[in-house]
């Protein structure tokens, strides 16, 4: 009869490590505890490294990130010991979530050690805490690789199940409590990430590694799938909690610069959501969409009362300026879409790309010498006054419940309301008859036309609606930035918003979804702001990220179910066989026991 150890070795994938029974559990627990303990030690002798990692007993900078990574690894590791109350964390008992959690701590600790050595000039700058962190964080990785796993190569560890393991139903109030806790955790993570100083790129890289591997582990454990199911079951409650969490964000910031990042992320995300109607729902490739943002911004700037405006004596209230920007973008959307939407595929993409460049060149030449005096040419329209809504001046700090909200925090709340409005329009339109027509056009325009759908009219409505939403965001953008200039409105540039980044936000986040473009826009705007050393190589890193995304997850981070099925071969999304973790008493897996 085959022994348990022999069976475990036979089932282990290539690249796995064979250890005696019980050793993986000890390695994981010891390594996780050692990683946590190392964060209370000094990692370097000098405070020149960002974060001041010289203090004993007080984690800071990358040590805080490593502490969280070690705690997550310990939680997944305690599942090996069958600790009561932690079975929900990894119900299927798969080995891959533990490995990914261990890789989070390993990558953070080793990145920190390498960064200290490179920035300060040698390994001599590492204190004992850094060595302890490097060794301790490697032990859980070894322990996780030694666990039995149903596969034949290490690549099998990276394949997540399509469906989560079944769990017992929760009471409705518990489900709402889980949704609240998940959204609160997301708010804490976002607040910490955006609060990292712009010159502290090392800490942000470590934070990004933690978020990447921890999220990956939760995906493999089925937690994100279950959370999505709960949010879909309580859609109104989840949307309300998400809106509340966003409204709380300005009160967590003492620096108005972070509120500035927040309002610009909302502007970028709102425009990306409008583009999602054109690209995600209708399937039209628009490479000049940022021009509609520019049309709305210039239209609002011309009636803002700026002394440099061609109509300097005209100052519309906000609601009128917003309607002006939306109407201008709507008109341009119809004028451009009417003659071009009879084209398909690459031809439509080329025409929209040309429109975007024509808009930028046109406003650049409307300076009174090369063309009519409307936009002041390259100088744009500066000195745009702040908005005043119902006597509330957006440019003045205000005291609310003991918190001081600066100028950008005021605009953040305004943009949050506009984002909520755009989300409502998107969801209502997608669920309507016209939304189903958009999806039919995206799937097969010929078949949709044969079934009686007026393809041209449906596409023109999508084009016009997307342009209108972009014009609304452009109205706020003009007042937030104090000025409007032609340079940002191009296909690809040094920083968003531009058409390439907007399209990438939709594709990265997930086409056809609501939360996908919001998440993609947040990533693409926040990462360049924090990783300042990538300024010269930003487009290179951006291109590599898109290639990797298209290779491993073409449906985006938050996948639309229909498109997820389209992007994968038949059977690829079937639920794979799950391998249980070792039993708490014998160390052998349940599957191994059954085989014996």
pLDDT in tens, 89-128: 877 777 888 889 999 999 999 999 999 999 888 888 888 9
- Residues 6 or more apart whose CB falls under 8 angstroms from that of 158 comprise 96
pLDDT in tens, 326-374: 999 999 889 888 888 877 778 888 888 888 888 888 888 887 777 787 8
Q: Which long-range contacts (CB under 8 A, 24 or more apart) does 185-189 make?
A: 186/245, 187/245, 187/248, 187/249, 187/252
Per-residue confidence (pLDDT) for residue 327, from 0 to 100: 93
pLDDT in tens, 184-208: 999 999 898 888 887 788 899 999 9
Range 135-147 average pLDDT: 89
pTM comes to 0.82
| Half-sphere exposure of residue 181: CA atoms within 13 angstroms, side-chain side | 10
What is the C-alpha R_g of the chain?
27
Angle between helices 172-195 and 235-248 (to 10 degrees): 30
How many whole angstroms separate alpha carbon 27 and alpha carbon 36? Answer: 14
Q: For tokens 């939680």, what's the residue?
A: 75
How many whole angstroms separate alpha carbon 303 and alpha carbon 323? Answer: 11
* Domain-wise residue ranges, the chain: 4-232, 253-530
Q: For tokens 């990783």, what's the residue?
A: 531
Tokens matching residue 454: 């007026």
**For residues 463 and 160, which has the higher predicted lDDT (pLDDT)?**
463
Preceding amide of 62 cis, omega within 30:
no
Tokens matching residue 537: 């190589």
CA-nearest of 7, 97, 593 to 87 is 97
Name the pLDDT band for 7 (thresholds 50, 70, 90).
very low
Q: Among 73-87, 91-105, 251-265, 284-298, where is mean pLDDT lowest?
A: 73-87
Per-residue confidence (pLDDT) for residue 220, from 0 to 100: 84
**For residues 351 and 555, which has the higher predicted lDDT (pLDDT)?**
351
Per-residue confidence (pLDDT) for residue 184, from 0 to 100: 93
How many whole angstroms separate alpha carbon 284 and alpha carbon 467? Answer: 13
Per-residue confidence (pLDDT) for residue 158, from 0 to 100: 60
Alpha carbon distances (Å) from 453 to 286, 435, 449, 464: 22, 12, 5, 18
pLDDT in tens, 295-304: 999 999 998 8
**35-44, 336-345, 482-491, 514-523 — most confident range:** 35-44
What's the longest Cα–Cα distance across the chain? Answer: 94
Q: For tokens 């150890």, what's the residue?
A: 5
For β-strands 388-389 and 398-400, DSSP reports them as unpaired
CA-nearest of 504, 488, 494, 502 to 535 is 494
**64-78, 247-261, 400-414 — most confident range:** 64-78
How many whole angstroms separate alpha carbon 132 and alpha carbon 109? Answer: 9
Mean pLDDT of the chain: 81
Residue 231 pLDDT more than 80?
Answer: yes
* Three-class DSSP category at 315: strand
**Cα angle, residue 335 at apex, residues 330 and 340 outer, rounded to 5°:** 120
Contact 408, 256 (CB under 8 A): yes
How many whole angstroms separate alpha carbon 399 and alpha carbon 379? Answer: 36
Per-residue confidence (pLDDT) for residue 5, from 0 to 100: 41
Contact 554, 511 (CB under 8 A): no
Contact 103, 141 (CB under 8 A): yes
Per-residue confidence (pLDDT) for residue 159, from 0 to 100: 60
Cα dihedral: 34, 99, 543, 289 (round 10):
-100
How many whole angstroms separate alpha carbon 17 and alpha carbon 99? Answer: 13
- Cβ neighbour number for residue 472 with a 10 Å cutoff: 24
Task: Tally the residues of the chain.
Answer: 596
How many whole angstroms separate alpha carbon 318 and alpha carbon 556? Answer: 36
pLDDT in tens, 53-78: 888 888 988 999 999 999 999 998 88
**Cα angle, residue 169 at apex, residues 167 and 175 outer, rounded to 5°:** 110
In this structure, what DSSP letter does residue 60 have?
-
Tokens matching residue 68: 């969280």
In this structure, what DSSP letter does residue 309 have?
S
Name the pLDDT band for 568 (thresholds 50, 70, 90).
low
Residue 474 pLDDT more than 50?
Answer: yes
Burial class (CB in 10 A: 0-12, 13-18, 19+), 73: buried
Tokens matching residue 585: 């008493």
Alpha carbon distances (Å) from 121 to 44, 49, 125: 12, 11, 7
Contact 444, 299 (CB under 8 A): no
Percentage with pLDDT > 70 across the chain: 85
End-to-end CA distance of the chain: 8
Fold of 253-530: ABC transporter involved in vitamin B12 uptake, BtuC (1.10.3470)
- Cβ neighbour number for residue 437 with a 10 Å cutoff: 23
Residue 564 pLDDT more than 70?
Answer: no
How many whole angstroms separate alpha carbon 345 and alpha carbon 279? Answer: 11
* Three-class DSSP category at 400: strand
Assign residue 52 a region: left if phi > 0, alpha if psi is -120 to 50, beta otherwise? Answer: left
Per-residue confidence (pLDDT) for residue 162, from 0 to 100: 54
How many whole angstroms separate alpha carbon 466 and alpha carbon 471? Answer: 9
Per-residue confidence (pLDDT) for residue 318, from 0 to 100: 87
Preceding amide of 581 cis, omega within 30:
no
> What are the phi and psi torsion angles at 199 (to 5°)?
-90, 5
């Amino acid at each position: 009869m085959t022994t348990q150890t022999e069976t475990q070795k036979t089932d282990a994938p290539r690249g796995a490590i064979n250890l005696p029974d019980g050793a993986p559990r000890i390695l994981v627990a010891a390594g996780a505890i050692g990683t946590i303990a190392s964060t209370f030690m000094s990692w370097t002798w000098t405070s020149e490294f960002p974060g001041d990692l010289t203090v004993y007993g007080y984690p800071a900078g990358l040590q805080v990130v490593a502490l969280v990574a070690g705690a997550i690894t310990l939680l997944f590791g305690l599942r090996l010991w069958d600790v009561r109350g932690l079975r929900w964390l990894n119900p299927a008992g798969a080995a891959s979530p533990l490995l990914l959690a261990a890789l989070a701590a390993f990558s953070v600790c080793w990145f920190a050690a390498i960064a200290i050595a490179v920035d300060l000039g040698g390994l001599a700058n590492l204190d004992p805490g850094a060595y302890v962190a490097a060794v301790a964080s490697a032990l859980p990785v070894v322990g996780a690789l030694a666990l039995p796993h149903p596969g034949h190569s290490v690549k099998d560890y990276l394949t997540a199940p399509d469906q989560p393991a079944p769990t017992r139903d929760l009471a409705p109030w518990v489900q709402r409590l889980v949704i609240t806790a998940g959204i609160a955790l997301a708010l804490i993570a976002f607040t910490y990430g955006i609060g990292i100083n712009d010159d502290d790129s090392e800490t942000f890289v470590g934070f990004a590694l933690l978020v990447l591997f921890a999220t990956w582990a939760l995906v493999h454990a089925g937690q994100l799938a279950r959370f999505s199911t709960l949010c879909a079951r309580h859609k109104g409650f989840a949307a309300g909690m998400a809106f509340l969490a966003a409204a709380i964000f300005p009160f967590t910031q003492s620096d108005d610069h972070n509120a500035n990042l927040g309002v610009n992320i909302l502007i970028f995300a709102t425009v990306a959501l409008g583009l999602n109607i054109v690209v995600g729902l209708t399937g039209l490739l628009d490479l000049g969409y940022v021009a509609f943002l520019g049309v709305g911004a210039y239209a609002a700037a011309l009636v803002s009362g700026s002394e440099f405006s061609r109509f300097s004596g005209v100052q519309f209230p906000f609601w009128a300026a917003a309607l002006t920007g939306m109407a201008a973008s709507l008109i341009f959307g119809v004028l451009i879409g009417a003659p071009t939407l009879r084209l398909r595929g690459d031809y439509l993409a080329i025409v929209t790309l040309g429109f975007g460049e024509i808009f930028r060149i046109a406003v650049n030449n409307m300076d009174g010498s090369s063309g009519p005096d409307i936009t002041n040419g390259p100088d744009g329209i500066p000195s745009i006054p702040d908005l005043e809504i119902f006597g509330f001046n957006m440019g003045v700090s205000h005291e609310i419940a003991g918190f001081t909200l600066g100028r950008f925090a005021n605009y953040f709340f305004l943009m949050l309301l506009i984002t909520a409005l755009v989300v409502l329009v998107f969801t209502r339109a997608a669920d309507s008859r016209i939304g189903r027509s958009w999806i039919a056009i995206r799937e097969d325009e010929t078949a949709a036309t044969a079934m009686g759908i007026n393809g041209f009219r449906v596409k023109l409505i999508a084009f016009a609606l997307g342009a209108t939403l972009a014009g609304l965001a452009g109205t706020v953008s003009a007042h937030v930035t104090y000025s409007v200039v032609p340079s940002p409105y191009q296909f690809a540039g040094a920083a968003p918003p531009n058409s390439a980044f907007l399209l990438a936000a939709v594709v990265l986040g997930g086409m056809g979804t609501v939360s996908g473009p919001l998440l993609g826009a947040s990533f693409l705007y926040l990462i360049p702001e924090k990783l300042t050393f990538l300024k010269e190589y930003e487009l290179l890193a951006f291109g590599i990220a898109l290639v990797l995304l298209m290779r491993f997850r073409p449906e985006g981070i938050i996948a639309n179910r229909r498109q997820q099925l389209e992007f994968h071969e038949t059977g690829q999304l079937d639920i794979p066989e799950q391998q249980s973790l070792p039993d708490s008493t014998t160390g052998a897996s349940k599957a191994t026991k059954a085989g014996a």
